[in-house]
Structure 1
Amino acid sequence: MSIITQATARLVDIPVETLRTDAVQSFQSQETIFVDLVAADGSEGRGYTYTIGTGGSAVLALLRDVFLPQLIGMDTRRTEHIWNTLFASTRATAPGAITSLALAAVDTAVWDLNGRREGNPLWIAAGGYTHELACYDTENGWLHISTDELVAGIVAVKEGGMRAAKVKVGKPTVQGDVERLRAVREAVGDDFEIFVDANQSFTVPEAIRRAAAFAELGIGWLEEPLPADNVAGHAQLARHSAVPIAVGETLYSVKQFQTYVDMEAASILQVDVARVGGITPWLKVAHLAEAANLPVAPHFLMELHVSLACAIPNGGWVEHIPQLRAVTHNGPVPVNGVMQAPATPGLGIDWDEAQLTRLTVATAGAGSGSVAGTN
């Protein structure tokens, strides 16, 4: 039977692997919230979601108080029913980050359980378009890195076989950004893609100004140039910019992506499976993008996104940015600039149970044998 009999959650604080800075923040920690499901036939599934420093306890509280109790008795084969029932129970807080993050932990657990029961890896279950995709590096492009370090790191990335990397922008002056980017371009040549990410730090006039300067360097995309809720501003920028505009990591519903597409405000959709509410809505955004002839280049979470981006015909680049190595035994490793989707059933992530236990800071649960409350 595919009926859920037990649902538990826990908050795990995973150390940041390296110092990460952008124009507006520093990556403090990865609060990772896990949901484990058990069905009546013994099938199990594990999903997860994350924050980058705050809010993890709020996500866990929503799971404990609202979502986990509802899951008991639900049929895991009915993914749309589960997702929409939980969403409907939080109308007052949806769409929004906390609700979407909590939904993602549940939804990915449902997909994992179903995939493991049926023997299907995620990339097959979600569409099965291809088993591998090109990836780009983010770990060598942080804003605090000196120009010399930036160039050395990205040259090493190219020598390792990757064909693209992302550089954070948002220096106090246009010239500050341009000098760094020009140094990288001169070092890697014209046959290497350079993407840039402003992390919502510009005004519309400044974004137009910098996009023009970046275009001269052959930049592949300008990511999150403006606050994510300024769709009209992004549309205005897109009309003026020769550099494609990429958005998505801070959008929390399918309808928000629909608005961007309708207003022609973005050329690349960077939907994040955790922030949009799970695999179920992620695929809707991906197919929305396909219908609009737009590529999907998902944000972060490469362990999940490599499978999802491979599942669809319009998968673009996968972002290489490791963060789960402290709690896993495996993980996608780029080979000659290409990342392969896991072939094992479900999400395909081999968790290190001992490390998860060591790093757990709070738990919650519902159903027989579950953990009651939080600690």
Structure 2
Amino acid sequence: MPPQDDTPFAAGRGSAIERIATRIVAVPLEEPIVHPFLGARTQFATLLVEVWTADGVKGLGWATFESPRQLAALAQVVDSMAPQLKGRDALLRTALHDLMWNLTVDLLHGGATNLALAAVDIALWDIAGRYAGMPLWKLLGGCRREVPAYASWTLWRHQDDAKWAAEAERLAADGWTAMKLRLGGPRSFEQDVARAALVRRVVGPDVRLMVDALWGLTPFRGVQTARALGELGYYWLEEPVREGDWQGLADARAVHAVPIAAGERISRLQALHQLPGRVDHAILDGMHLGGVTPWAKAAAVMDVADLPVSAHSNPELHAHLLGAVRTGAYVEYMPWWRPLYQDPPQPVNGVITLGDRPGLGLELDEQAVRRFAVAA
């Protein structure tokens, strides 16, 4: 007799999901970030998702962007799935991810729905690590304990040249061996090149410099910029052309002047085949893809293509993921979420050293969570 549909989720075990809770917090930024079309960003909000098992083991997951009101909608998605997840075995992460995918089919996938799935999926992987007594980076296979990081919370388009020079000098003095700046937008090609040259002069030849064009260049200017950055010894040019312009990426890469990096906005595994042959460096985001479960599949595709993989934002999660894969490279470091945790991993001289605490190794600072709480 074939097994019933619910057999993989057998209830009554200690690892059965007992409760799922959501909270929203917003941590203010020290200095606003002027976005090209969203205006001044003054905070980053986070949807915290906590999952408890019958054994009392708790896993932490999250999704994050600027708007608490938009996160409240994601919280509703998570809350709507909770009754269907309760009683299911938290350790069967692949089956649960498939279930969540099906539960949200009417919302469509490849966008905000993925973030809700990711928040729960991350919590389930945290639980798995706690049951196994292993950190996530080892649970996923384990490849390296030390993950290089680059500074990425400053050197924005809206800052003037004096600010750029001071910030780049400060980062280098603090021991950062890699940092990223943003080009493109309203400035001319000549102005962009001058700013890139300025940072290179300030930090010298030994610091790795990345440029993120934030999808802001035309294909022709992408080629121009790639050539200019190559002459300045830059490490990569990220997302030079409009999102989804695969030919534009290929054209910039064909110059062979500077490595081309892209991929952080990919949210469907079916689109990953667009990267090999069009980029030299894949950028993957575990939240955009829908969690650790699909991220691991995406990283395997890049491994087969022998492409280096770096990760977009959220270093508390992505350092673990990059530490688990053969072609793992850089984690993008922003300190924005650090106040939420008691003892989060922090880079020293541009390197995050992964520990042995089980799961994600994170514990919320409940005083901070209360201080930054936002009503849903």
Fold shared per TM-score above 0.5: yes
**Corresponding position: 1:124 with 2:138:** yes
Partner of 1:214: 229
Runs (4 or more) in structure 1 with deviation over 4 Å come to: 22-26
> CA 1:18–1:305 in structure 2 vs 1: closer, same or farther (change >3 Å)?
farther
Deviations 1:182-218 (A, max 9, x none): 1111222222211001111112122122222222111
* 2:324 corresponds to which of 311, 320, 323: 311
Distance in 2, Cα, partners of 1:14 & 1:82: 31
Equivalences for residues 57-72 of structure 1 within 5 A: 57-65=72-80, 67-72=81-86
Distance in 2, Cα, partners of 1:23 & 1:205: 21
- Which region of structure 1 is more displaced relative to structure 2, 147-156 or 198-207? 147-156
Distance in 2, Cα, partners of 1:30 & 1:140: 15
Shift of residue 166 of structure 1?
A: 0.4
Partner of 1:256: 271
Shift of residue 298 of structure 1?
A: 0.3
* 1:338 corresponds to which of 310, 330, 351: 351
> CA 1:324–1:134 in structure 2 vs 1: closer, same or farther (change >3 Å)?
same
Query: CA-atom RMSD, angstroms?
Result: 1.8
- Which region of structure 1 is more displaced relative to structure 2, 189-198 or 350-359? 350-359
- Which region of structure 1 is more displaced relative to structure 2, 4-13 or 18-27? 18-27
Query: 1:22 touches 1:168 (CA, 8 Å); kept in 2?
Result: no
Partner of 1:106: 120
* 2:360 corresponds to which of 347, 350, 358: 347
When the two structures are aligned, how many residues end up with a matched partner? 360
Shift of residue 240 of structure 1?
A: 3.2
Partner of 2:91: 77
Partner of 1:39: 53
* 1:169 corresponds to which of 168, 183, 188: 183
Partner of 1:228: 243
Shift of residue 241 of structure 1?
A: 4.8
Shift of residue 149 of structure 1?
A: 2.1
Deviations 1:112-134 (A, max 9, x none): 11111221111111221111122
Partner of 2:11: none
3-state SS, counterpart of residue 250 of structure 1: coil
3-state SS, counterpart of residue 212 of structure 1: helix
Q: In structure 2, give the amino acid aligned to 1:217.
A: L
Distance in 1, Cα, partners of 2:107 & 2:273: 20
Equivalences for residues 226-305 of structure 1 within 5 A: 226-261=241-276, 264-305=277-318
Partner of 2:5: none
Shift of residue 361 of structure 1?
A: 2.5
3-state SS, counterpart of residue 297 of structure 1: strand
3-state SS, counterpart of residue 27 of structure 1: strand
Query: 2:22 touches 2:75 (CA, 8 Å); kept in 1?
Result: yes
Distance in 2, Cα, partners of 1:315 & 1:205: 30
> CA 1:185–1:161 in structure 2 vs 1: closer, same or farther (change >3 Å)?
same
Query: 2:127 touches 2:359 (CA, 8 Å); kept in 1?
Result: yes
Q: In structure 1, give the amino acid aligned to 2:174.
A: G
* TM-score, normalised via structure 1 length: 0.91
3-state SS, counterpart of residue 134 of structure 2: coil
Distance in 1, Cα, partners of 2:93 & 2:271: 21
Partner of 1:370: none
* 1:191 corresponds to which of 174, 194, 206: 206
3-state SS, counterpart of residue 228 of structure 1: coil
Q: In structure 1, give the amino acid aligned to 2:314.
A: L
Query: 1:24 touches 1:201 (CA, 8 Å); kept in 2?
Result: no
* 1:15 corresponds to which of 24, 28, 38: 28
Partner of 2:17: 4
3-state SS, counterpart of residue 52 of structure 2: strand
Distance in 2, Cα, partners of 1:213 & 1:303: 34
Distance in 1, Cα, partners of 2:224 & 2:107: 37
Q: In structure 2, give the amino acid aligned to 1:350.
A: E
3-state SS, counterpart of residue 64 of structure 2: strand
Query: 2:263 touches 2:275 (CA, 8 Å); kept in 1?
Result: no
Partner of 2:4: none
Q: In structure 2, give the amino acid aligned to 1:291.
A: V
Query: 2:175 touches 2:350 (CA, 8 Å); kept in 1?
Result: yes
Partner of 1:90: 104
Deviations 1:6-44 (A, max 9, x none): 112122222224333455554342221111111112211
3-state SS, counterpart of residue 141 of structure 2: coil
- Which region of structure 1 is more displaced relative to structure 2, 275-284 or 183-192? 183-192
Deviations 1:217-239 (A, max 9, x none): 11111111122222233223322
Distance in 2, Cα, partners of 1:260 & 1:294: 9
Query: 2:91 touches 2:127 (CA, 8 Å); kept in 1?
Result: no
Query: 1:307 touches 1:342 (CA, 8 Å); kept in 2?
Result: no
- Which region of structure 1 is more displaced relative to structure 2, 103-112 or 325-334? 325-334
> CA 1:257–1:27 in structure 2 vs 1: closer, same or farther (change >3 Å)?
farther
